[in-house]
Amino acid sequence: MDSINKQKILIIGAGGGREHALGWKIAQSPRAGQIFFAPGNAGTERIGTNVDIKSNDILKLLDFAKKEKVDLTLAVSDEPLYLGVVDEFRKRGLRIWGPTKAASQIEWSKVFSKDFMHRHNLPTAEFQTFSDYQKAKYYAMRQSLPVVIKVDGLAFGKGVIIANTHDEACKAIEDILVKKIFSDSGNEVVIEEFLIGPEISIHVLSDGINYKIFPSSQDHKRIGEGDTGGNTGGMGVIGPLPFVNKEIMEKIEKEIIAPTLRAMEEDGIPFEGILYPSLMLTTDGPKIIEFNARFGDPEAQTYMRLLDTDLLDILDACVDKKLDKIEIKWREKFACNIALASGGYPGNYEKGKIIGGIDEAEMQPDIIVFHAGTIMKNRTLVTNGGRVLGVSATAGTLEEALKKAYKAIDKISFEGMQYRRDIGKKALAQILILK
């Protein structure tokens, strides 16, 4: 073992459960050396070294990677990608995994992404884009309800408004284009058709030439049970989905994944990294809701519990454009990851609440607790964000995995803790007849 050349890794992200899960998996590689997290949380601190640099401070990150002689950096959240972290690292000869600024535009500009889908005939909701308030309003008033209004740029998960009345739609457009509540992110809006069907997450790893599709998964974005209340970063993920069979996955590959990656290459922006489209399985076939240019959170946590191949080997193969040379194996299991959030989230919430019971939860079989908004204060673990922890479980069936996760959650407590008790319920009841 000593002869193995250990790699120093830097994970640049949002300090959430996704980053903890990726680090947790990488730490299992015999080739993993020190793992740095910028910024990290109390969970990442246990498996590596937290670095007090914000993920949007690209210059400081560059200096750090150089000084520490980091062998491989992973860019895993949207903001640094938008700021061109991959381009900047490469310019200085540093090895980094993730899409370029131009390729990640597929996530950070909804106008770009919708135009791209339109130009390449990719299946998505009917839409128009506007920068003029009067024209946008005129168009919105003529659409059937509900109608979807989207802010062009990054909006921290608050940029999609599903308007149930024309008044609501006009108010949203005014807020964005006139009142500028999203500042320059809202210089343009997309107005689009409301799609109906189960929403699923697809992750595909691409090195710009080859690609590998991950099993299907599903997030639960609303705070409330029965998909009610405000949108969140994601309250729970399950995977693989029992209602997404091989035929559906093949259809998704043929109609969405392969043509998208080909189109990006044709446009001179080959995609390297994780491309994560959210899809709606409509009665007209799968349609793209949006593209993300990174791992989902908590999708990543679920995938890391299912992955059976060394993640470092996979990422190295990806950076070296040799994804065709590696087989990605998945455990024959189902996994879930359920978010435990602060009281008040996704609105205002308090921090600094003492967290108890993680060790007891992890003593139960097949449970791993990933940290998100956590910090050590005076040797005590306390809450430090909206989504605080993710409790993940694996089992031979989805029902069993969920049962295990909820049983483990019973051991964990902090003041105001809230979570959805219906994760996976809809998927278990889903019977899908797809065209």
Interacting residue ranges for ligand GLY, rule: CB under 6 A: 219, 234, 292, 296-297, 299
Minimum CB distance to ligand GLY, residue 51 (Å)? 23
CA of 166: how far to CAs of 170, 173, 256, 289, in Å? 6, 11, 32, 21
Binding residues vs ligand AMP (CB under 6 A): 125, 148, 157, 160, 192-195, 199, 221, 231, 278, 289-290
Q: How many Å separate Cα 73 from the centre of its chain?
A: 18
Q: How far is the CB of 21 from ligand GLY (least distance, A)?
A: 12
Residue 99 binding result from ligand GLY, ligand AMP, none, given CB thresholds of 5 to 8 Å by partner type: none
Q: In this complex, which beta carbon is closest to ligand AMP, that of residue 6 or of residue 171?
A: 171
Minimal distance in Å, beta carbon 177 to ligand GLY?
Answer: 24
Residue nearer to ligand AMP on the CB measure, 108 or 370: 108
Contact status, residue 329 vs residue 214, Cβ threshold 8 Å: no
The DSSP code sequence of 206-275 is: EESS-EEEPPPBEE--EEETTTEEEE-S-SEEEES-TT--HHHHHHHIIIIIHHHHHHHHHTT---EEEE
The interface partner of residue 299, options being ligand AMP, ligand GLY, none and the CB cut-off 5 to 8 Å by kind, is: ligand GLY
Residue 297, binding choice from ligand AMP, ligand GLY, none, Cβ under 5 to 8 Å by partner class: ligand GLY
- For ligand AMP, the closer CB: 85 or 151: 151
Closest CA to 76 of 152, 112, 23, 153: 23
Q: Tell the smallest beta-carbon distance from residue 298 to ligand GLY (Å).
A: 6
| Closer CB to ligand GLY, 136 or 202, in the complex | 202
Question: Strand 272-282 vs strand 374-377: parallel, antiparallel, or unpaired?
Answer: unpaired
The structure tokens 């690609």 sit at: 211
Of 203 and 353, nearer to ligand GLY (C-beta) is: 203
Distance between CA 206 and CA 318 in Å, rounded? 7
- Partner from ligand AMP, ligand GLY, none binding residue 195, C-beta < 5-8 Å depending on class: ligand AMP
Q: How far is the CB of 291 from ligand GLY (least distance, A)?
A: 11
What is the C-alpha to C-alpha distance for residues 295 and 25, in angstroms, rounded to an integer?
A: 14
What is the smallest separation between the CB atom of 73 and ligand AMP, expressed in angstroms? 26
Closer CB to ligand AMP, 148 or 361, in the complex: 148
Least Å distance between CB 122 and ligand AMP?
A: 14
At how many degrees (to 10) do helices 101-108 and 110-119 cross?
100
Q: Which does 355 bind (CB under 5 to 8 A by kind): ligand GLY, ligand AMP, none?
A: none
Residue in this structure with the two tokens 């061109």, named with its chain if needed: 84
Residue 234 binding partner per list ligand GLY, ligand AMP, none, with a CB distance cut-off of 5 to 8 Å that depends on partner kind:
ligand GLY
d(CA 150, CA 186) in angstroms, rounded, equals 9
Q: Are 95 and 73 contacting, i.e. CB atoms less than 8 angstroms apart?
A: yes
* Contact assessment for residue 218 and residue 201, using Cβ atoms and an 8 Å cutoff: yes
